[in-house]
Structure 1
């Protein structure tokens, strides 16, 4: 949802904002020797200029009539705070970028935009179990100004290095300004959603085949786990529609009119993947209900078999119980063929019961 914040941002001051429940600490988990700045470049007329220091890049971009693209990876408050003072970033947006764990959104701070996008990747696994992790999510925050675009990435996937190289080969697109980078990032994120949804579809198909297979399988745990994992993808895709709609329909100073058609294309892809994910979730719900119904039917079948065998066993049990009461005067006790006759009655009665239960499908 877009929200305009006005007023001079002023210097960034670290806050004591409480950490969200269950969220990791804001300190980055970067490998040793890896800094927050991944890449920094000034682009003039679609061409990348010689390397420049991140703290001097904005002045160079303004002077040359271009823009700077600064890429950051899990910066600390101090690292992003220093950049915020140099680039005039709003403190509230900086705070969100440091703590991460935001839902997709688009906010306007004076003439600048701040956009949050969720990234997603599919975690390969040999076999889907009740504890398998299927979808992993991260975040990319984008600060967009007239002469700068700053991308802040959280998570071990969603690397933008390849995207930067591909974009540098499209001079016509880069000539449209820093909003071309926002479009490229949003397009990459949505394309990754499509790939993840297609791979999750394979897991759903495998579970569907297992549930309706002739063999007895216990798939309820796996179904519930996949449904929980799919929820992460829904949370990443669903809220993205409104920000993209605003970028493609509303007049925004830092987004030229020529870029609207690009954002409309991304919006169309986002709506399609949203519908695909919603369809997968509904299909999983149906498969889960079918699995529960099949489990109930199997339990009923087992109970019928147990009841049928109990009825058959009741015949010899009853006869043996009657003739085991040790009364002196009982029929056929002194008859020579009494014992064989009892066995014959038991066998005939049990056979008739077995045939009846078999015919009715209880055995």
Structure 2
């Protein structure tokens, strides 16, 4: 359950306590903070952490059940934030979302991870290499995690944009105009964009509160005032991501509409071609049908050149119809 546990003092890591119940007391004794990382803990396993750090039961319930929207909750003794990191599998065109729950107090950080790979290990290593940043306390950890998640959003948005350009090229190929499975691929891609949007769009409100730029941004506890510009920077990056997601959603909808329009135009062209060939086949069929009747008094019945004349008439009519349909673009 416990991925990592360490006490940080003046930005430097010290050995974590052997007993989790001593972690908070030790952090307060040295004037630092404790950072505990958990992975998909059970309710029984999480009870000790809940009791030791005094976490609110509603936040604990959210952390255990997961499947939460990105949000920020303020409780008496802690701050609770939900982030949703994403991983894009370009081979299978799927967006997978995980969850990171962060509890922030005056001298502790508890992170709970669910689902796909997360940047927490990289964030911890990067912060430990920057003692000046880590010396800012739990606020620095909260900022670093949010920054890593949002920066990865930018990478995913770029990968989606590249795949969408390939899909767009396939749809607008002059010789093909997309295969019969293109509509299914476009719809699947739109579902992935929607899944990505569910992770990025709701995060703007929590970051706005942390940055202090909105009506709810003032008075957020456990966040140092000097850290607000950093959260504003993360918010700017998230704004770029949301704009990219909106553009992707609109563009994929336009591509789907264009593909369906192309399919309709091709079907109309096919029907016109079929109608034109059917009309051309109907003329000799009609003439042959008339001359196939058993009448004694048929025009030119006993004329020597009647047969080649009728054949020549049918050929002339076929050429006339072909040129007429060709001129109108039906063939």
Shorter-chain TM range is over 0.9
Structure 2 portions without partners, runs of 5+:
213-217
Matches within 5 A, 1:141-220: 141-216=101-176, 217-218=178-179, 219-220=182-183
Separation (CA, whole Å) in 2 of partners of 1:40 and 1:101: 25
Q: Which has the higher helix share?
A: 2
Separation (CA, whole Å) in 2 of partners of 1:210 and 1:136: 25
Calculate the TM-score normalised by the size of structure 2. Answer: 0.95
In structure 1, the residue matched to 2:13 is 48
Which deviations, in whole Å up to 9, do the C-alpha atoms of 1:152-187 show, x marking residues without a partner?
111131141121011011111111111111100100
Separation (CA, whole Å) in 2 of partners of 1:188 and 1:251: 25
Separation (CA, whole Å) in 2 of partners of 1:238 and 1:113: 21
Count of residues in correspondence between the two structures? 322
Separation (CA, whole Å) in 1 of partners of 2:21 and 2:160: 43
Matches within 5 A, 1:338-353: 338-353=306-321
Which deviations, in whole Å up to 9, do the C-alpha atoms of 1:27-75 show, x marking residues without a partner?
xxxxxxxxx1100000011110123233321111111111100001111
Q: CA contact under 8 A between 1:138 and 1:156: conserved in structure 2? A: yes
Following superposition, the deviation at residue 118 of structure 1 comes to 0.8
Which of these residues, 60, 66, 71, is aligned with residue 100 of structure 1?
Answer: 66
In structure 2, the residue matched to 1:254 is 222
Moved more, 219-228 or 328-337: 328-337
Which deviations, in whole Å up to 9, do the C-alpha atoms of 1:332-356 show, x marking residues without a partner?
2222211111110110000111011
Q: CA contact under 8 A between 1:248 and 1:260: conserved in structure 2? A: yes
Separation (CA, whole Å) in 2 of partners of 1:51 and 1:94: 23
Aligned-residue Cα RMSD (Å) equals: 1.1
SS across alignment from 2:263: helix
Separation (CA, whole Å) in 2 of partners of 1:251 and 1:272: 26
Following superposition, the deviation at residue 117 of structure 1 comes to 0.5
Moved more, 153-162 or 67-76: 153-162
Following superposition, the deviation at residue 110 of structure 1 comes to 1.0
Residue 69 (1) aligns with residue 69 (2): no
In structure 2, the residue matched to 1:232 is 195
Calculate the TM-score normalised by the size of structure 1. Answer: 0.87
In structure 1, the residue matched to 2:215 is none
Separation (CA, whole Å) in 1 of partners of 2:231 and 2:220: 12
SS across alignment from 2:102: strand
Q: CA contact under 8 A between 1:84 and 1:94: conserved in structure 2? A: yes
In structure 2, the residue matched to 1:288 is 256
Which of these residues, 76, 97, 115, is aligned with residue 137 of structure 1?
Answer: 97
Q: CA contact under 8 A between 2:74 and 2:221: conserved in structure 1? A: no
Which portions of structure 1, spanning 4 or more consecutive aligned residues, are displaced by more than 6 angstroms?
Answer: none
Q: CA contact under 8 A between 2:100 and 2:111: conserved in structure 1? A: yes
Separation (CA, whole Å) in 2 of partners of 1:168 and 1:318: 91
Residue 302 (1) aligns with residue 267 (2): no
Separation (CA, whole Å) in 2 of partners of 1:206 and 1:124: 12
In structure 2, the residue matched to 1:313 is 281
Structure 1 portions without partners, runs of 5+:
1-35, 126-131
Separation (CA, whole Å) in 1 of partners of 2:3 and 2:117: 14
Residue 273 (1) aligns with residue 241 (2): yes
